Structure 1
Amino acid sequence: MTPVPKFENAGIGSWMVRLFDAIDEDNLGWILSLARRCETLFGTALVDLVPSYTTLLIQYDPLTFTPDEARAVIRRAADGLAPENGPSEAPVKKIPVWYDPTVGPDLPKLASRWSMGVDEVVELHAGTEYRVYALGFAPGFAFMGVVDPALETTRLSTPRQRVHAGSVSIAGRQTSAYPAVSPGGWNIIGRTPITLFDRQRDEMSFLQVGDRVRMVPVTKGEFLKLGGDPTPQEEA
């Protein structure tokens, strides 16, 4: 069934369009389809599009469109909407990860909680192809899903004050990697040497909504050769 868009005022030059009320893997195709149509219809008056699990934030030039005019454009974009199949033929972006308690102190704790060996946790986490459903929290922070049901876990009751850049983590059925040093309450299981956000790049965020992603386990030696920082992660 085609979702009916609900409009929420998001400030000057912005509309938040809610297509769904619940998170679902199938939402992404619809949201990306609406985003593509808005790109075409708004043209140079489009400032930014921010897809999420259930919504699309559309920012436009308020000197070109009034709020009512922008809303009418979005309604046109949503008329006869069909879900985008997604980049199924696009190459998978690979993220090398050093899974180790030194940089992923929650790895052995989670393994114990799930009655698994650490190697089993790594195999399950790295054995899944993820999709990027949203970017948020911090520039370049990609919300990816969905992790294997056996790895589902709650966030930390007390967030860490300082999480190292590149920390690969799990919360709920989502996984991500912190693009920069920041506080954080996700369970850290490893670290990637990839620079996930760089203002000097044309595409500042290494990951984009809709991307297909796989984690690739690497040794400490490989991690260091790729420029990884082995500084131990402090406990929560």
Structure 2
Amino acid sequence: MIKAVNETCFLITLSDQIDLSLTAQIAQLVKLIETELADALVDITPSYSSILVEIDLLKISPLVAEQQLIALSQQTSQASDLTGKLIELPVYYDMTVGWDLNKVACDNNLSVNDVINIHSEKIYQVCAIGFAPGFAFLAELNERINQPRHICPRAFVPAGSVAIADKQSAVYPSDSPGGWHIIGNCPISLFNIKHTPISPFKIGDRVKFTAINLQQFIDLGGKIIDEQ
């Protein structure tokens, strides 16, 4: 279903429920839209089950854009395979940077090492990008460390914080408020407007976390920031 949100935005909805099997279709549709609309595309924001498309009215009319989006959506109805790249990220799992690491362990009757091993042994899929520029929602978290969001979000979460919430994991690309449980920190910059691309993540990419020690963390530019 395609619905006009306003004069410049269209919402393409593939399902009314979160379904990881849609990720391949969404990834393919995003690529087709980026190619077809080209410089008439202002922004595109994919999620687990929908895509928000913003167009430039000076370069394309809403009617033409809607017709193109309908045609492109029909082309991806049978999409099933993901061809995204594998992104490997170093993570320092420690309570000095993973402010909720011990809590996650205690809440799930696990040791801290168990939490680290469970989180880092899996390859995650980029299923949505949003909340903040470069913030990639990664699925699906092992149910043994599932953790709800904090009832009261923190006013400050440092850039690089590796976090979990419900069935998802993510890395905060910049300093921001946040309500996810923080279990470590990645010292690699994941959002920079001076770089091309500004973020390494695209829908359909895969992410693998690798545990590193304190010295490796410092050597890669990591910093210990006290919880505020």
Q: Structure 1: how far apart are the matches of 2:190 and 2:36?
A: 31
Q: Which of 218, 225, 228 is the aligned partner of 2:222?
A: 228
| Residue of structure 2 in register with 1:83 after alignment | 79
**2:72 pairs with 1:45:** no
> Which of residues 23, 27, 48 in structure 1 aligns to 2:22?
27
**Match of residue 118 from structure 2:** 124
Asked if the contact 1:104/1:233 (under 8 Å) is kept, the reply is: no
Aligned partner (choices 108, 111, 117) of residue 114 of structure 1: 108
Number of aligned positions between the proteins: 227
Asked if 1:8 is matched to 2:3, the reply is: yes
1:207 is aligned to 2:206: no
- Shift in Å at residue 80 of structure 1? 4.1
Per-residue deviation at 1:137? Answer: 1.0
Deviation, structure 1 residue 72: 1.0
TM-score (norm. length: structure 2):
0.94
Q: Report the residue type matching 1:175 in the other structure.
A: S
Mind listing any 5+ residue stretches in structure 2 that lack a counterpart?
A: none
RMSD (Å) for aligned C-alpha atoms: 1.5
Amino acid at match of 1:7: I
1:35: Cα distance to partner?
A: 1.9
Equivalent runs, 1:87-236 vs 2, <5 Å: 87=83, 90=85, 92-234=86-228
Alignment partners' CA distance in 1, 2:188 and 2:36: 35
The residue type paired with residue 170 of structure 2 is S
Distance in 1 between residues matched to 2:181 and 2:163, nearest whole Å: 5
Tell me how far 1:219 sits from its aligned partner. 0.4
Q: CA 1:40–1:204 in structure 2 vs 1: closer, same or farther (change >3 Å)?
A: closer
Q: Which moved more, 1:21-30 or 1:57-66?
A: 57-66
Q: Which residue is equivalent to 1:18? A: 13
In 2, the alpha carbon distance for the partners of 1:44 and 1:138 equals 23
Cα contact 1:29–1:85 (8 A) shared by 2: yes
Tell me the percent identity.
35
What letter is aligned with 1:71? E
Residues of 2 paired with 1:41 and 1:165: CA distance?
A: 34
Shift of residue 169, structure 1, vs aligned partner: 0.4
Q: Which moved more, 1:129-138 or 1:40-49?
A: 40-49
3-state SS in 2 of match to 1:26:
helix
Aligned with 1:111: secondary structure?
helix
Q: Does the CA contact (< 8 Å) of 1:140 and 1:207 recur in 2? A: yes
**2:2–2:70 contact (8 Å) kept in structure 1:** no
- Looking at structure 2, the residues matched to 215 and 150 of structure 1 have their Cα atoms a distance apart, in angstroms, of 17
